[in-house]
Amino acid sequence: MDQSAEKEKDVTKKDDKVKEKEKKKSVENSGYYINRPKFGNNGPSKLKQQFSQGLTLLLVVIVCLLIYFALLRLERISNVIYLVLGILKPIIYGFAIAYLLNPIVKKVDEYLIPHINKHFPNSKKAAQISRGTGIFVAVVLLISIITALCNMMLPELYKSIWNMVSTVPSQLNTAVDQITKMMSKDTTTGQLFTNVLMQATDFIQNWMKTDLLEQVNVVMSNLTVGVINVVKELFNGIIGIIISVYVLWGKEVFSQQAKKIVYAIFKPNSANMILHLTIKSNEIFGGFIIGKIIDSVIIGILCFIGLSILKMPYALLVSVIVGVTNVIPFFGPYIGAIPSAILITLSNPIKGLYFLIFILILQQIDGNIIGPKIIGNSTGLSAFWVVFSILLGGGLFGIPGMILGVPTFAVLSYIVTMLINHNLEKKNLPIEASCYDELSYVDTDGTYVHSDRNEFKKYKGE
């Protein structure tokens, strides 16, 4: 009997070991940090065990003093930060370009590696061949898009500016003549308008004689600086494309090194949480930015087709403006539509009105059909928080803040929601917001109670 019992114990131990190994394998294959890890509580850290409360208070005071002196020298610190960012701008461009081209490289790898392994089973360089092909395709596609946009925009922009220079003055003169005829009657309003027009004419003549030359010099100097800045940005962009090739080629190595550093610095539970938030941020940013770019390309194409059918002036230029500004959520369509409508109205007022109607219809199609199909609910934010994040990001960082404000706020919202849900779970309370209506409450002992409508009326004395 003892031997049989010992054998059964050995068998159960072996089964437990096998189950533990299988569990470890499943965790290793899926990645523990991909799903939200549990908040670990391993007791007080070694730092808290070694330092007394007095030393901790001293550290807090030192940190506060450092923050205070940093605020006093905030301008110098910000200048240093801007200088460093200016130096590292090609690398920043390289990482941004690599992030945008990464989906193309991944698609090529998914398609090409199985085919190479199928036709050349003994090949040990299938991954390298596929990666090189994917990077080549992505870079060629990027350069082709940039070249095509320049070929379409620059001639059209030159043509549009030339038409504006040649037609807008005559249109303004015609408008002024019509207004003058309307107001030329011997009335108080007509005399007032005539006096204002004469004063405005004298002011413009004096301004042209005195201040115009100085303004021209300022504009020319600013134009020179602007051309230099454009050349610098183009040079940074070219270097960025080169850096993006290296980033895409060794992205797995960079990922492994970053993961190694995270596990070396933080505790396992904190490291897993950081990796989980990194993956979640990548999902939110990638889904939003890539989806918004695809959506903007579709809107630009549809706008060009519609304007060509309606025989609108500046169809190509306006379509590019509408497509590019559509990358900005919510306000982007209006930012692109307003100057485009003014441009078309100067050429033909009736067509300017038709353009506004067409843009409203196009944006309704985008907001209700195209956008939700491509982007979906990648951010998980309501309309109010989308507008809030756009206004806040735009006010702090301009156009880049308006574009990146929504996914950034979505990540912060995810972190806050995760922390709130964790605290509710610790208190054995429901995490759904719908459970906290006017009929629901929590007793003093921490028990969640949901009353029905009749009990609620009795409580209120109705």
Residue-wise pLDDT tens digits, 17-69: 555 555 554 444 456 667 767 665 555 555 555 555 666 777 788 888 888 88
What are phi and psi for residue 420, nearest 5 degrees?
Answer: -65, -45
Looking at 186-190, 264-268, 286-290, which range is the least confident one? 186-190
Annotate 226-264 with DSSP letters as a single string: HHHHHHHHHHHHHHHHHHHHHHHHTHHHHHHHHHHHHHH
Q: At what angle do helices 126-183 and 212-249 cross, to 10 degrees?
A: 160
Domain boundaries, the chain: 48-87, 91-172+183-249, 266-406
Residue 457: pLDDT over 50 = no
* Sequence letter at residue 137: V
Task: Note the pLDDT of residue 366.
Answer: 82
> Which pairs with CB-CB distance under 8 Å and at least 24 residues apart come from 327-332?
327/292, 327/293, 327/296, 327/403, 328/390, 328/399, 328/402, 328/403, 329/292, 329/386, 329/390, 329/402, 329/403, 329/406, 330/386, 330/387, 330/390, 331/390, 331/394, 331/402, 332/402
b/e per residue 277-315 (b: at least 16 CB within 10 A): bbebbeebbbbbbbbbeebbebbbebbbebbeeeebbbb
Q: What is the pLDDT of residues 323-373, one digit of tens each?
A: 888 888 877 878 888 888 887 887 777 888 889 899 888 888 887 787 777
Q: What is the pLDDT of residue 430?
A: 85
